[in-house]
């Protein structure tokens, strides 16, 4: 997008010629290795998390003329960007407070570019408190039977929420990829309890017999690791994703239980976000982009999905 003489590129997958490149957060699908001359706007935490995941964002800035970064509530360090009062881009965003993560902060803008991962009405998530209570009762009954529980979610973001909510169970084990992300969170003041690190190569045959809780990356119950934990230790597998609102999710994942704990806005939160930004035009991206744009049009907004992921705003603002 060109505002004045400045061109911005938002979450590109590869280098795009622009004056500024914005990296909203450190999930792999939002990152690339910028070229040396690229001026990257990202939070310092995003830069650090990216580095731990093998991406070098180079020199980054959190401030630039006419630009405001706002907490998007998605994961640690995630930001939305407002460019003058012209554009507000959400990156990935959450509309609710979860443990140490706040909700997406909004500002008014003429154009809203938003993620719509869960942009259909069946995706309205239950309260986090209710969900935590239900998961605790699943863990309690497994402990009663003397069996362990594996809690599965993305290693950056979801796994730290799981570590935060369920580490009062003992012993608590963290898969090594989760432990690496937990350490960065602790360095930034997030109160995550220490636990035993699990190396899936060395420790597979050396886990305690009896109940324990492990926080692990998402994997199918049919994967080698999970099938082994089930067979050898009788582990109960619990998957966490917004997609768990769908009836077939638990079966598709080969999990024993699934819960809709999400790092994204649900349908109602997406609508609240649009109303808060109060834009003249909305562009939707990711997930149910066409469906959500259609619903917004019914509500009187001008809205359309991006045909494919367009990393340079000029692609669609000046078609
Ligand atoms: Zn993300």
CA of 172 to the centre of ligand 1 (A): 26
Contact 147, 257 (CB under 8 A): no
CA of 137 to the centre of ligand 1 (A): 29
CA of 140 to the centre of ligand 1 (A): 31
CA of 238 to the centre of ligand 1 (A): 21
pLDDT of res. 1: 66
CA of 263 to the centre of ligand 1 (A): 8
Pairing of β 257-259 and β 281-285: unpaired
- Digits of tens for pLDDT over the chain (319 positions)? 667 678 899 998 887 888 899 999 999 887 778 777 789 999 999 999 999 999 999 999 999 999 999 999 999 999 999 999 899 999 999 999 999 999 999 999 999 999 999 999 999 999 999 999 999 999 999 999 999 999 999 999 999 999 999 999 999 999 999 999 999 999 999 999 999 999 999 999 999 999 999 999 999 999 999 999 999 999 999 999 999 999 899 999 999 999 999 999 999 999 999 999 999 999 999 999 999 999 999 999 999 998 655 544 544 443 3
CA of 92 to the centre of ligand 1 (A): 5
CA of 146 to the centre of ligand 1 (A): 36
CA of 128 to the centre of ligand 1 (A): 19
In the structure encoding, which two tokens stand for residue 263, read together? 């790092």
CA distance 127 to 148: 26
CA of 94 to the centre of ligand 1 (A): 10
CA of 302 to the centre of ligand 1 (A): 26
pLDDT of res. 237: 98
Cβ-proximal residues to 272 (8 Å cutoff; 6+ apart), any chain: 95
Contact 191, 76 (CB under 8 A): no
pLDDT of res. 14: 81
CA of 211 to the centre of ligand 1 (A): 32
Closest CA to 81 of 29, 28, 43: 43
CA of 233 to the centre of ligand 1 (A): 32
CA of 24 to the centre of ligand 1 (A): 9
CA of 255 to the centre of ligand 1 (A): 23
Angle at 17 between CA 16 and CA 19, to 5 degrees: 120
In the structure encoding, which two tokens stand for residue 269, read together? 């939160």
CA distance 301 to 173: 48
Q: How far is CA 231 from CA 170, 205, 226, 228, in A?
A: 21, 12, 9, 5
CA of 257 to the centre of ligand 1 (A): 23
CA distance 13 to 309: 9
CA of 262 to the centre of ligand 1 (A): 11
The upper half-sphere exposure of residue 312, i.e. CA atoms within 13 Å in the direction of its Cβ, equals 16
pLDDT of res. 308: 57
In the structure encoding, which two tokens stand for residue 243, read together? 């997609």
Closest CA to 277 of 78, 79, 113, 157: 113
Q: How far is CA 146 from CA 169, 236, 292, in A?
A: 13, 11, 45
CA of 148 to the centre of ligand 1 (A): 29
- Torsion angle of alpha carbons 240, 243, 247, 248, nearest 10°? -90
CA of 27 to the centre of ligand 1 (A): 5
CA of 243 to the centre of ligand 1 (A): 14
CA distance 278 to 154: 32
Indicate the DSSP class of residue 316: H
Contact 40, 65 (CB under 8 A): no
CA of 154 to the centre of ligand 1 (A): 10
CA of 74 to the centre of ligand 1 (A): 7
CA distance 265 to 287: 12
Backbone phi and psi for residue 290, each to the nearest 5 degrees, phi listed first: -70, -45
Exposure letters 126-161 (e unless 16+ CB within 10 A, then b)? eebeebbeebeebbeebbeeebbbbbbbbbbbbbbb
């Amino acid at each position: 997008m060109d505002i004045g003489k400045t061109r911005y590129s938002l979450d590109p997958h590869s280098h795009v010629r622009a004056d500024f490149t914005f990296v909203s957060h450190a999930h792999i699908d939002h990152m690339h290795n910028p070229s040396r001359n690229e001026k990257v706007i990202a939070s310092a935490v995003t830069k650090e998390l990216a580095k731990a995941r093998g991406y070098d964002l180079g020199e980054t800035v959190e401030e630039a003329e006419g630009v405001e970064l706002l907490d998007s509530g998605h994961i640690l360090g995630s930001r939305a960007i407002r460019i003058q009062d012209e554009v507000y881009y959400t990156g990935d965003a959450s509309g609710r407070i979860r443990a140490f993560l706040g909700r997406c902060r909004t500002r008014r803008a003429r154009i809203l570019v938003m993620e719509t991962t869960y942009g259909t009405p069946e995706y309205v998530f239950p309260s986090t408190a209710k969900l935590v209570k239900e998961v605790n009762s699943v863990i309690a009954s497994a402990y009663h039977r003397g069996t362990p529980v594996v809690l599965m979610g993305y290693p950056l973001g979801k796994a730290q929420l799981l570590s935060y909510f369920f580490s009062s169970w003992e012993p608590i084990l963290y898969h090594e990829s989760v432990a690496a992300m937990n350490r960065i969170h602790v360095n930034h003041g997030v109160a995550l309890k220490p636990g035993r690190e699990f190396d899936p190569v060395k420790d597979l045959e050396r886990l305690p017999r009896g109940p324990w809780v492990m926080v692990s990356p998402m994997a199918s119950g049919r994967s080698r690791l999970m099938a082994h934990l089930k067979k050898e230790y009788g582990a109960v597998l619990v998957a966490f994703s917004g997609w768990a609102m769908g009836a077939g999710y638990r079966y598709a994942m080969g999990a024993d239980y699934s819960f809709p704990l999400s790092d994204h806005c649900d349908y109602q939160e997406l609508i609240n976000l649009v109303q808060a930004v109060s834009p003249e035009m909305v562009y939707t991206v990711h997930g149910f982009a066409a469906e959500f744009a259609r619903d917004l049009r019914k509500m009187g907004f001008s809205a359309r999905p991006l045909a494919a992921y367009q990393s340079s705003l000029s692609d669609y603002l000046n078609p």
